[in-house]
Amino acid sequence: MTEAAAAILRPKELKTNDRGGGARTTPLVTRACGSTSMINGITAFDPGAAIGLHQHNCEESVMVIEGQAIAEIDGVQHNLDTNDTTWIPANVPHRFINPTDKPMRIFWTYASIDATRTMIATGETRTIDAEHGKAGQ
């Protein structure tokens, strides 16, 4: 059996994708580095930025790594500080908001390499990989 090689990922050296509305995502662990069971990355939010309400087909965990955030999960808003971490079951509507006048960043992990995002407002579903280019690149 062939084992995948380990990877060192440096966010400053990776492509960042504009998600609109003042949010930018840098994929880290993806198929591109050999992952077969999980993906993760960092999303940066400008002051006042928010991402749309959505849900995933798998579990997700998000840690605030800079600033303060509001996590809206299943209609309930939770104030989060740096290092606070969420766990969100599959198919639960949620979003993250930067309510401050300072930058905010989150580190996210999906429990499946085949994670999808379905936007609640439109019903549109995309694979997370498709949002970041082919195979997470």
pLDDT of residue 117: 96
pLDDT of residue 131: 62
Does pLDDT of 136 surpass 90? no
Amino acid at 49: A
pLDDT of residue 3: 72
CB 45 within 8 A of CB 105: yes
Q: Which of 50, 62, 73 is nearest to 106 (CA)?
A: 62
Q: Which domains does the chain have, with CATH numbers?
A: 16-136 (2.60.120.10)
